[in-house]
Structure 1
Amino acid sequence: MGLLTALGDPRISRHLLREEGEVIVDEVTHHWVAYVRPVAEGVLGVALLCTVPFARVEIAWLPLVLFLVLAVRATWGFLSERVDRFVITNMRVFRVHGVLNRQLSTMPLSRILDISVTKPLLGRLLGYGHFVFESAAQEQGLRDIRFVGRPDQRDLTIQRVVQRAGLRGPRV
């Protein structure tokens, strides 16, 4: 297992309460649009690297340095998007993110008061949106979940899990 593989795997299963019967209902990764910026930076870095043979000898180091900076930024951006996971279980929702320093934010289903789904025009065209969670505690790491693919279906999944857990009123 390589370093990049280890850094890019959030290991979701180790955060589950298996002995309590917790199971994953949905694991949400970022929509492909979230990777556009890191990939564009990587392509720009490679393009700069290709200019090195044509640069004057005195400044040939400049495209190399710019390539290294862009390569590091692209790799970091790609890894941070890849590690950022939003997980819906039968008991709670949680988010794991961070490349070197992992952060876990958890919210029991009973504390979810409101979910807003924002779909910008580009998101409507490409099939992504952003979640905004409201709970009794206003400052939490689960407030904004960005670049969620199929946001309407994911919202219905959360509503279904909350309903099945008996946390909302009975069905009429």
Structure 2
Amino acid sequence: MGSPSGLPPDPDDPDRERRERDTEPIPRYRDDDPPPGYGPERGERSSYPDDAGYPVDGPPYPDDARSGRTWVRDPEAEYQPPVFSDDELAGLRADAAGSAPRRVLPLEDEPSSLVARYLFPTERYRGEWKRHWIHLTTPILIGVAATFVLGYLSGALANRNIGPLTTIAVLLWFAVMGWVAWKVADWWYDRFILTNKRVMVVNGIITRKVAMMPLARVTDMKYEQTPTGRALNYGTFVLESAGQDQALREIKNLPNPNELYLRVVEEMYEPQAVEARLGKEADEAKADDGA
């Protein structure tokens, strides 16, 4: 290939090979066999206006120049869902030989009443999880410390016959324990939810907060575990999205982070395998009930 100036190429030019490689035409896809669901052309050939291989008045599938055939989608062809063998599903099953059991499974076949109100009818429920009990460490420690400190203080004040201060100490203890109970209830209603469409976090007792992110918009996902998290099996999930503003980014203190990470990634990249496995498990459960 000559240079832009019309002069012959310099054999000692170090960038010659790179320039020639970058200017090579992109080959179009060719195949003598039609793809699934496609058949021989019926009617006139579609026109292809450029080298990209995409037609103006036909399906976006290039013709085969070697055989002179054009493949178009067969309107009589029915969609065939992928079929997975038992060997392919063996690694995903809980009783797979030589593998650890999957610890993260849907807690129930159906979502709880707390979660069901936030799911639309065509959405497929995959599971819901409460945060790890480590999430309650701070309020529980405060409640225990308040019990000892205020208990000792109220006893000392009662021995000195200081009634008003004793009453204040007791009321303060009730206030602290009420706050601890509130935190426990808030933890109970705090759920991380996974469906085939999105991930959600629902929390709050009086003021409900619902944050969600579509799985299609998740560009990166990771989880972090401190040494304590590895010992007690909890971690923090970090979700990155294509948008700058997102309602759901960091989710702290989720249980079984490795298994939960695999569950979310599987739902993102292998949704058909999830459907196949869950359908097989449902069939086996029905067979066991019938037996």
Please report the TM-score for the alignment, with normalisation by the length of structure 1.
0.81
Q: Which has the higher strand share?
A: 1
Code of the residue aligned with 1:38 in structure 2: it is P
Local SS of the residue matching 2:117: helix
More deviation, 117-126/57-66? 57-66
Note the C-alpha offset of 1:48: 4.5
C-alpha contact 1:41 1:73 (8 A) present in aligned 2: no
User: Which whole-Å CA distance do the structure 1 matches of 2:255 and 2:179 have between them?
Assistant: 24
More deviation, 54-63/22-31? 54-63
C-alpha contact 2:125 2:194 (8 A) present in aligned 1: yes
Partner of 2:115: 12
Aligned runs of 1:1-172 on 2, under 5 Å? 11-18=114-121, 20=122, 22-48=123-149, 50-51=151-152, 52-55=154-157, 56=160, 57=162, 58-165=164-271
Deviations 1:109-138 (A, max 9, x none): 101111121111110111110001100223
Q: Which of the two has higher C-alpha Rg?
A: 2
Local SS of the residue matching 1:15: coil
Local SS of the residue matching 1:93: strand
C-alpha contact 2:213 2:247 (8 A) present in aligned 1: no
The change in CA–CA distance for 1:165 and 1:133 in structure 2 (over 3 A counts) is same
Note the C-alpha offset of 1:49: 5.3
Code of the residue aligned with 1:50 in structure 2: it is G
Q: With CA pairs under 8 Å and 6+ residues apart, which has the higher RCO, 1 or 2?
A: 1
Q: Which has the higher helix share?
A: 1
Q: Which runs of 4+ in 1 moved over 6 A?
A: none
Local SS of the residue matching 2:179: helix
Tell me the C-alpha RMSD between the 2 structures. Answer: 2.1
User: Which whole-Å CA distance do the structure 2 matches of 1:83 and 1:139 have between them?
Assistant: 26
Please report the TM-score for the alignment, with normalisation by the length of structure 2.
0.50
Note the C-alpha offset of 1:10: 7.5
Code of the residue aligned with 2:189 in structure 1: it is V
- Which sections of structure 1, spanning at least 5 residues, go unmatched? 1-8, 167-172
Local SS of the residue matching 1:141: coil
